[in-house]
Structure 1
Amino acid sequence: MVFKEVIVLSIFESLNSKEIFSVSKTDIEKAIEIPPQGKMGDYAFPCFLLASIMKKSPAQIAAELGKSIQHPYIEHVDVVGPYVNFFLNRQAVGRKIIDEILKKKARYGDLSIGQGENITIDLSSPNIAKPFSMGHLRSTVIGNALANIVEKCGFTSVKINHLGDWGTQFGKLITAYKMWGDEERVKANPIQELLALYVRFHEEAEKDFELEEEGRHWFKKLEDGDEEALYLWKWFRTASLKEFGRIYQLLGIEFDSYHGEAFYNDKMEAVIKELEEKNLLTESDGAMVVRLEESNLPPCLIKKSDGATLYATRDLAAALYRKREYHFAKSFYVVGGEQALHFKQLFLVLKKMGYTWADELYHIPFGMMLKDGKKMSTRKGKIVLLEEVLHDAIKAARDAIESRNPNLENKDEIARMVGVGAVIFHDLKNDRLNDIEFSLEAMLTFEGETGPYLQYTYARTCSLLRKSHVPNSHTSLYEVFEDDKVWPIIFLLSRFEEVIASAFFELNPSRIAKYLLDLSQQFNKYYGTVKILEENDGLVARLKLVKATSIVLREGLRLLGIGTPERM
Structure 2
Amino acid sequence: MSYKHQVAEMIASALVHMGVDNLNKEQVYGMLETPPNPAMGDIAFPCFQLAKALRKAPPMIAADLAANISGSPLQEVKAVGPYVNLFLDQAAVSTQVIGTILAEGASYGKSNLGQGRNVPIDLSSPNIAKPFSMGHLRSTVIGNAIANILEKQGYKPVRINHLGDWGTQFGKLIVAYRLWGDEEKVKAEPIKELLHLYVKFHEEAEKDPSLEDQGREWFKKLEDGDAEAQHLWSWFRDESLKEFMKIYDLMNVSFDSTHGEAFYNDKMDRVVSLLEEKGLLTESDGAQVVSLDEYDMPPCLIKKSDGATLYATRDLAAALFRHETYDFAKAVYVVGNEQRLHFQQLYKVLEKMGYPWAANMHHIPFGMMLKDGKKMSTRKGKVVLLEEVLAQAIADVQKVIEEKNPSLANKEEVARQVGVGAVIFHDLKNYRLNDINFSWEEMLTFEGETGPYVQYTHARACSLLRKGNYQPASSSELVPGALEGKEAWAVVTLLNAFPEVVDRAGSQFDPSLIGKYVIDLAQVFNKFYANVRILAEEDAVKASRLQLVAAVVVVLKEGLRLLGLAAPEEM
Sort the TM-score into its range (normalised by shorter chain).
Answer: over 0.9
Query: In 2, Cα distance between the equivalents of 1:248 and 1:27?
Result: 43
1:482–1:302 CA distance, 2 compared to 1 (3 A): same
Q: What's the counterpart of residue 29 of structure 1?
A: 29
Tell me, yes or no, if the aligned pair for 2:370 and 2:376 is still in contact at 8 Å.
Answer: yes
Q: What's the counterpart of residue 155 of structure 2?
A: 155
Query: In 2, Cα distance between the equivalents of 1:417 and 1:470?
Result: 25
Query: In 2, Cα distance between the equivalents of 1:470 and 1:453?
Result: 24
- Bigger CA drift: 492-501 or 60-69? 60-69
1:36–1:202 CA distance, 2 compared to 1 (3 A): farther
1:8 maps to 2:11:
no
Q: What's the counterpart of residue 342 of structure 2?
A: 342
Q: What's the counterpart of residue 534 of structure 1?
A: 536
Q: What's the counterpart of residue 564 of structure 2?
A: 561
1:268–1:66 CA distance, 2 compared to 1 (3 A): same
Query: In 2, Cα distance between the equivalents of 1:37 and 1:65?
Result: 22
Tell me, yes or no, if the aligned pair for 1:119 and 1:158 is still in contact at 8 Å.
Answer: yes
1:206–1:81 CA distance, 2 compared to 1 (3 A): farther
- Bigger CA drift: 348-357 or 56-65? 56-65
Q: What's the counterpart of residue 547 of structure 2?
A: 544
Q: What's the counterpart of residue 81 of structure 1?
A: 81
Q: How far off is 1:212 after superposition?
A: 4.4
1:230–1:527 CA distance, 2 compared to 1 (3 A): same
Query: In 1, Cα distance between the equivalents of 2:363 and 2:352?
Result: 18
State the Cα deviation string for residues 61-106 of structure 1 (Å, max 9, x = none). Answer: 2222222222301111222222222211101100100111111111
State the Cα deviation string for residues 13-33 of structure 1 (Å, max 9, x = none). Answer: 222223323224343233222
Q: What's the counterpart of residue 237 of structure 1?
A: 237
Query: In 1, Cα distance between the equivalents of 2:400 and 2:324?
Result: 50
Q: How far off is 1:119 after superposition?
A: 1.1
Q: How far off is 1:179 after superposition?
A: 4.3
Q: What's the counterpart of residue 318 of structure 2?
A: 318
Aligned amino acid, residue 44 of structure 2: A
SS at match of 1:126: coil
Q: What's the counterpart of residue 515 of structure 1?
A: 517
Query: In 2, Cα distance between the equivalents of 1:365 and 1:414?
Result: 32
Query: 1:183-194 maps to which residues of 2 (within 5 A)?
Result: 183-194=183-194
Aligned amino acid, residue 550 of structure 1: V
Q: What's the counterpart of residue 462 of structure 1?
A: 462
Tell me, yes or no, if the aligned pair for 1:481 and 1:490 is still in contact at 8 Å.
Answer: no
Tell me, yes or no, if the aligned pair for 1:470 and 1:539 is still in contact at 8 Å.
Answer: no
Query: 1:491-502 maps to which residues of 2 (within 5 A)?
Result: 491-502=493-504
SS at match of 1:79: strand
Aligned amino acid, residue 560 of structure 1: L
Q: How far off is 1:250 after superposition?
A: 0.2
Query: In 1, Cα distance between the equivalents of 2:62 and 2:381?
Result: 62
Tell me, yes or no, if the aligned pair for 1:94 and 1:478 is still in contact at 8 Å.
Answer: no
State the Cα deviation string for residues 290-331 of structure 1 (Å, max 9, x = none). Answer: 111110111111111222211111111111111111111011
1:307–1:65 CA distance, 2 compared to 1 (3 A): same
Aligned amino acid, residue 516 of structure 2: K
Aligned-residue sequence identity (percent) comes to: 61
1:223–1:477 CA distance, 2 compared to 1 (3 A): same
1:211–1:12 CA distance, 2 compared to 1 (3 A): farther
Q: How far off is 1:111 after superposition?
A: 1.2
Tell me, yes or no, if the aligned pair for 2:446 and 2:456 is still in contact at 8 Å.
Answer: no
Aligned amino acid, residue 555 of structure 2: V
Tell me, yes or no, if the aligned pair for 2:425 and 2:515 is still in contact at 8 Å.
Answer: yes
Query: In 2, Cα distance between the equivalents of 1:63 and 1:8?
Result: 17
SS at match of 1:420: helix
Q: How far off is 1:218 after superposition?
A: 3.0
Query: 1:93-492 maps to which residues of 2 (within 5 A)?
Result: 93-205=93-205, 211-469=211-469, 476-492=478-494
State the Cα deviation string for residues 166-192 of structure 1 (Å, max 9, x = none). Answer: 123223333433444444433332211
TM-score by length of 2: 0.95
Q: How far off is 1:38 after superposition?
A: 1.1
1:448–1:470 CA distance, 2 compared to 1 (3 A): closer
Tell me, yes or no, if the aligned pair for 2:458 and 2:556 is still in contact at 8 Å.
Answer: yes
1:530–1:316 CA distance, 2 compared to 1 (3 A): same
SS at match of 1:157: strand
Q: How far off is 1:411 after superposition?
A: 0.5
Q: How far off is 1:208 after superposition?
A: 5.7
Tell me, yes or no, if the aligned pair for 1:478 and 1:541 is still in contact at 8 Å.
Answer: no
Query: In 2, Cα distance between the equivalents of 1:415 and 1:246?
Result: 17
Q: How far off is 1:211 after superposition?
A: 4.7
Q: How far off is 1:482 after superposition?
A: 3.0
Query: In 2, Cα distance between the equivalents of 1:441 and 1:178?
Result: 44
Aligned amino acid, residue 495 of structure 1: A
TM-score by length of 1: 0.96
State the Cα deviation string for residues 197-249 of structure 1 (Å, max 9, x = none). Answer: 32344445556655545433332332222222212211110110000010000
State the Cα deviation string for residues 126-179 of structure 1 (Å, max 9, x = none). Answer: 110101111011111111111110111111111111111112322333343344
Query: In 1, Cα distance between the equivalents of 2:110 and 2:141?
Result: 21
Q: How far off is 1:544 after superposition?
A: 0.6
SS at match of 1:121: strand
For structure 2, the residue ranges without an aligned partner over 5 or more in a row are none
The CA RMSD measured in Å over matched residues stands at 2.0
Query: In 1, Cα distance between the equivalents of 2:469 and 2:180?
Result: 70
For structure 1, the residue ranges without an aligned partner over 5 or more in a row are none
Tell me, yes or no, if the aligned pair for 1:95 and 1:478 is still in contact at 8 Å.
Answer: no
- Bigger CA drift: 375-384 or 488-497? 375-384
